[in-house]
Structure 1
Amino acid sequence: MAHIDYYFTTLSPYAYLAGERLEEIADRHGASITYRPLDIMQLFPRTGGQAPKDRHPSRRAYRDQELPRQARKLEMALNLQPAHWPTNAAPSSYAIIAAQEAGGGDMGKLVHSILRACWLEERDIAEDEVIRDCLQAAGFDPALADSGLLSGAETYAANLERAVAANVFGAPFYVVDTGQSFWGQDRLGDLDLHLAGKL
Structure 2
Amino acid sequence: HQSITPYIFSDEEIARLISATKSLQPYERLPLRRETLSLAMILLYATGLRRGELLQLKLTDFNSKEGTLLIQNTKFHKSRIVPLSPSVRGEVGHYLTLRSKERLPMDTTSSLILNGYTNRAYSGTGFSGNFSALSRALKIFTRKGKTPRIHDFRHTFAVRVLEGWYQKGVDVQVKLPFLSTYMGHVSINSTYYYLKFIEGIASDPFPVL
- Considering fraction of residues, name the structure with more helix: 1
TM norm structure 2: 0.27
**More relative contact order, 1 or 2 (CA 8 Å, 6+ apart):** 1
Larger radius of gyration: 2
TM-score by length of 1: 0.28
